Structure formats: C-alpha cells, structure tokens
C-alpha cells in the first residue's frame, strides 16, 4: 500500500543525555532536538514528503513547525511516523541497539561476489567467523547461497550442507549472535535448531511460501530486506516511481504481513537492500535518505560492504579494493542512526566506528 506522507529526520547530531531525557517537555525538545530511535542521536529538523498523482513534494520544517503545524488529513499518519522515529528499539536477541552494531559476513559459498571460495569449507568458515568475533563483530551472518546479481539458486540440501556445520561449530565456540542468511524455510528451521539467533532473508520472507510460518514459529528476530525481482535478473532493468518511497512502502508492507502472521514488530529489522534490484542512481538515493526508514519503527540494517556502487563511484574493479568506500558507507549509515552495519571488514569498520563514537561523545571511552 502506498502512503501519502513520509517524514525524514534531518539535522542529526550526538545529543547530551539531558536533551534526550526531556521527552515530556516540548520547549526543551525544540531546542535540544528529539531522540532518534531512542539512541544516542537526536534530530533537529524534518523533511516532509507528500506523494500524490503529481509526484513527490518535499519541504523542510523545524521542530517548532512540527508542534504548531496543522497536518490536516495527514495528522494521524504524521503522529504515527513521528512516534515510530522517536521510539526506542527493542533488543535484538538480547543485544542492545542504542549504539552501532557490526554484523560480520561469513560466506560459505564458492561464488559470492567478494570472497567466494575463501571459506567454503566448514573449518575455514568457522575459523573466519571466530576471527570476525575477535575483531569486534556483534553478529556473525552465515550464508550458503550467493544472492549477488546474476547468481543461480542453490538447492536446499546443498545449502544445508554448507551452513549447518558452520552454525554448529560457531555456536560451540562463541556467544556472539549468529544469523542465518537464507531465503529457504527449511534452512531457517534447521539453522534455528542448530543454534542460530536471527533469520536474515533478502527476499523479506517472500521467496519460500513456507518461510513466513517458519519464521513465526521459530520465535527468532527476522531481518527483512527490500529487493526488486529475483537475484538472477533483478538488476537488468529495475523500475521505480520514487525509489526511496517505494522501498519504504515495500518494507512497511512486509512488516505488516509479518505482524499479521504472528511475528511481533519488536522482532523485525529492516534493510533497504543496497544493490538488490537497484542501479547506481537508485542506490545513492536510498543511501542519502536512510534516516527516512526510521519511520518504519524497527531497527535498520545497512549492507553496502564492497558492493558494486563503490566500484562505480570510485572506479575500483576488485571488490577487495573497496574497503575504504565500504567504511565510508558504514559511517554514513551510522551517522544517520542505522543500528547495524553488515560488513566483510570487521576490524577496519570497528576502528572507524570507535573513532566516530568518541568524536560524537567528546570522550575517549567507548559507550557501554
């Protein structure tokens, strides 16, 4: 369902605790900013986007206008969006999301775009996952099917043979959260039994007709990603009316379907899907508008690590040479309040985020 109004937080800054504690004091909020997703950031202005048959109209307003403005027929929708933007996010399988978290990629595949074949044996993948955990990953994302543009589907049995021993091996050796990156209900079910804490589905539980029920029955958090089309053909000719708003509408619709199926909103995470059914101009538009997706009312995941858009922007062909651009994308996301960044290069990203956190806080100590 296409909505008619959207709200994007602007003027995002690291707020002093006193500015975020005064949630019942409108004048202090206007001067100190409103809290962003209950975290350590606040926002001081808004972009209001209204979509109709003539296209999308945008205007920027200050917080004073927010309290005084007559929203007309959009009053309830605007109030709901604002509450969704401000509300604290639930813990993710026990992990607090009031500061940036890092998801390390463990590809157990021969054909992933960046590191295919490097960790396609269980022992190598387990060792790699433990290394990422030592480097500072909060979540280890195990996947056995490449969903890069142009990739072929992997049979369920083959995917299970790849990922289950890795999940079991990691579960025995680390208490870090483990996510299973899969589109298949049976892989979700078996991965949960093997010790996975999170389901991460690039199809937002649409690829497998049984996935929605399995996800609900598992009781695990679910990461829902936007993608247009199947990985084999998704980047051939993607079309959008307004990519930023179309992605929002899709994710909002998937959240609604999940809630109706018995998955509480507190267990959902949204990913705008950089590179999935999107060309360069689509990707940079979505990146630019990341803070808009806080209006979904769930934590946000950004996965731009080593992706093609970095190579296109910087003329860098080899994915392994895109680490600096990956860190830039991750830091931009973190500065927009994204709670989780999914990366190949954990140590480098952790170092960059730690410096960003210290600069935001004005203190050398890392947040607890």
User: In what order do the strands lie in the sheet containing 13-14?
Assistant: 13-14, 41-43, 34-35
**Does the annotation count 342 as an active-site position?**
yes
Q: Which of 183, 307, 322, 350 is catalytic?
A: 307
CA–CA separation, 234 vs 227, rounded Å?
8
d(CA 185, CA 116): 24
Closest-CA residue to 339 (of 295, 304, 303, 299): 299
Give the closest residue to 300 by CA, choosing from 8, 1, 4.
8
- Chain centroid, CA 56 distance in Å: 25
Give the distance from CA 333 to its chain's centroid: 9
Question: Is residue 67 classed exposed, middle or buried when 0-12, 13-18 and 19+ CB atoms within 10 A define those classes?
Answer: exposed
Nearest Cα residue to 94 out of 246, 255, 266, 228: 266
The answer to whether residue 307 is catalytic is yes
Q: Which helix (H) or strand (E) segment is 51 a member of? A: strand 45-52
Choose, from 190, 306, 342, 350, the residue flagged as catalytic.
342
Dist. CA 324–CA 162, nearest whole Å = 30
3-class secondary structure, 44:
coil
**Residues involved in catalysis:** 307, 342
């Amino acid at each position: 369902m296409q909505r008619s109004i959207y709200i994007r937080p602007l003027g995002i800054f690291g707020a002093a605790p006193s500015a975020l504690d005064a949630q019942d004091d409108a004048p202090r909020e206007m001067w100190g900013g409103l809290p962003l997703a209950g975290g350590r950031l606040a926002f001081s202005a808004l972009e209001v986007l209204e979509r109709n048959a003539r296209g999308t109209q945008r205007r920027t307003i200050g917080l004073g206008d927010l309290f005084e403005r007559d929203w007309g027929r959009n009053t309830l929708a605007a109030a709901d969006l604002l509450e969704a933007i401000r509300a604290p996010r639930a813990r993710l399988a026990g992990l607090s999301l009031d500061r940036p978290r890092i998801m390390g990629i463990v590809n157990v595949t021969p054909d992933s775009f960046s590191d295919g074949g490097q960790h396609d044996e269980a022992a190598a993948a387990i060792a790699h996952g433990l290394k990422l955990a030592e480097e500072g990953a909060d979540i280890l994302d195990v996947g056995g099917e490449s969903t890069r543009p142009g990739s072929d589907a992997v049979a369920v049995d083959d995917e299970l043979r790849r990922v289950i021993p890795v999940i079991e091996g990691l579960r025995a050796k680390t208490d870090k959260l483990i996510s299973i990156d899969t589109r298949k209900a049976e892989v979700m079910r078996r991965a949960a039994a093997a010790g996975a804490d999170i389901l991460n589905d690039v199809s937002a539980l649409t690829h497998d007709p049984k996935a929605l029920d399995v996800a609900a029955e598992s009781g695990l958090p679910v990461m829902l990603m936007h993608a247009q089309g199947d990985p084999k053909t998704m980047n051939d000719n993607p079309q959008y009316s307004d990519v930023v708003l179309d992605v929002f509408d899709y994710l909002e619709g998937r959240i609604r379907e999940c809630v109706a199926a018995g998955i509480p909103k507190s267990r959902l995470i949204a990913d705008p899907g950089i590179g999935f059914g999107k060309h360069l101009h689509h990707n940079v538009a979505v990146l630019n508008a990341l803070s808009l997706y806080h209006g979904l009312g769930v934590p946000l995941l950004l996965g731009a690590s080593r992706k093609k858009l970095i190579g296109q922007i910087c003329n860098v062909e080899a994915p392994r040479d895109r680490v600096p651009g990956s860190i830039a994308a991750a830091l931009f996301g973190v500065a927009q309040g994204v709670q989780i960044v999914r990366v190949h290069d954990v140590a480098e990203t952790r170092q960059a985020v730690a410096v960003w956190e210290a600069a935001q806080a004005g203190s050398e100590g890392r947040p607890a």
